[in-house]
Amino acid sequence: MSGKGFVPEDAAGVATGRLQRRHENAQPAPERMRIMRNRSVIFSLLLTILLLAVCGTAAGQVRVGVAIAIAPPPIPVYEQPICPGDGYIWTPGYWAYDDDDADYYWVPGTWVEAPEVGYLWTPGYWAWGGSGFVFTAGYWAPVVGFYGGINYGFGYFGHGYEGGRWDRGHFYYNTTVNRVNVEVIHNVYNTRVTETTVNRVSYNGGNGGINARPSSQEEAAARQSHVAPVSAQVQHERTARTDRQQLASVNHGAPAVAATPKPGGFRDSGAVTTREAGGPYKPGPRPENNPSRPANNAPRTENNAPRPENNVARPENNAPRPENNAPRPAIHPNDLPHVDRAAPTNTGNAKLDQKHQQEQEKLQAKQQQDMQKLQQKQEQEHQQIAKQQANQAKQQQMEQRHQQQTQQLQQKHAQQTEQMQQRQRPPAPPRGNENKPAHPPNGE
């Protein structure tokens, strides 16, 4: 269709836009200035919010959990295991906190392979946050950032790292602060380091804590792109959490396993025990307005006054609490207890017994493969959550889902094992013969 009066839709839109702009331009000057100012303010606000979001994602370490009223115990005295191989970097041990037990537990120091060439480890640290102690997680980055001024030893003496350096794609170890087999690892050097202050305090700020602040270089390092703890480190911490010998209330500041050659190697021959506690284990300072539980050592008149309801022995308080004494439910396949191999069948038929044993081994191998697959899947989800820096609610939802998956797999394996044992069970003797005497009585 054509004609002088026909106007295409896009042309009409252009014409309409021109008319609108002409209408705006036709407004009085003060009105136009007000519109331009409003647009400028909105644009500035949006730009500020965007910059804050970007800076909040890229800057600094991630604070983990809630404020804890009691200070962590001192760092225990222990030796460093020998470096297991080239490319491994020492990550010092630290005290983590278990909300279920309301107690600190020691995560052993260990050698970890760097996620990328040129990356170094910045340890996590505890610091007084005004209403309690807050933990700041460690990370991997090209430059070591601030870790509270804590003297973790073995090259981490409060600022920076003196234990080694990257050079031309290889990590060179300083043998004065690291235990390295120079016959196996040749990229080493020897530079003596002088420790200005030697103490075993494990937290920054507060009463008795380390008085240190980040330098401009350390603050810049925190703003650079960095990598969260790798999956081996995450699993290493989980293993420490499930070992009750690592709890401070059990070991009194001297954990059973102080360091391991590799992540998770709590039972390895190279695992190191604690030589001695770093100091007396005492509850840390508690602010008066802290809503958490009162200090255990503080005298409380309401408990010291003789009141019948408090002096009468109550079974629910005197009886052992199952949630503390019973083993924690497994959250991941690696947390499941080791299943002993089933006893071999004895049917009197050697070939049949051998067949049963092969079936058992095949089933165990298949179940082990199932557990490894689920473990890898859950570790990948942990890495994704760490990259997203998800909040605590999402982390708890993920852990609940992992626990449900692990329990379902455990039940499935138990059913498979029971069914196999029923199939392999020798048939019962025919009914009616079990009560018949072997020899007839005299006279029959």
The tokens of 253 are what? Answer: 């500041």
Q: Is the pLDDT of residue 31 over 90?
A: no
Q: Which of 105-114, 203-212, 359-368, 426-435 has the highest mean pLDDT?
A: 105-114
Answer whether 144's CB lies under 8 Å from 116's CB.
no
pLDDT at 280 over 50: yes
171, 114 Cβ separation under 8 angstroms? yes
Strands 164-167 and 170-174: antiparallel
Structure tokens at 147: 């870790």
| Per-residue pLDDT tens digits for 160-205 | 999 999 999 999 999 999 999 999 999 999 998 876 667 899 999 9
C-alpha Rg value of the chain to the nearest Å? 33
Q: What is the mean pLDDT of residues 265-274?
A: 92
CA distance 314 to 291: 26
Tell me: pLDDT of 443 over 70. no
Greater pLDDT, 21 or 243: 243
Average per-residue pLDDT in the chain? 74
Residue 56 confidence class, pLDDT cut points 50, 70, 90: very low
pTM above 0.75, yes or no: no
Q: What's the pLDDT band for 122 if we cut at 50, 70, 90?
A: very high
Question: Do residues 260 and 232 lie in contact, with contact meaning Cβ atoms separated by under 8 Å?
Answer: no
pLDDT greater at residue 168 or residue 336: 168
Q: Specify the DSSP element, H or E, that contains 398.
A: helix 392-424
Token readout for 69 is 């009223």
**The pLDDT of residue 47:** 46
Candidate from 114-118, 263-267, 402-406, 440-444 with smallest mean pLDDT = 440-444
Report which of residues 214 and 10 the model is more confident about. 214
Q: What is the mean pLDDT of residues 111-123?
A: 95
Do 255 and 94 touch, CB atoms closer than 8 A? no
The helix-helix angle for 29-58 and 9-25 (nearest 10°) equals 110
Spatial CA neighbour of 154 closest among 98, 102, 88, 104: 88
- Choice among 277-286, 319-328, 425-434 with the minimum mean pLDDT: 319-328
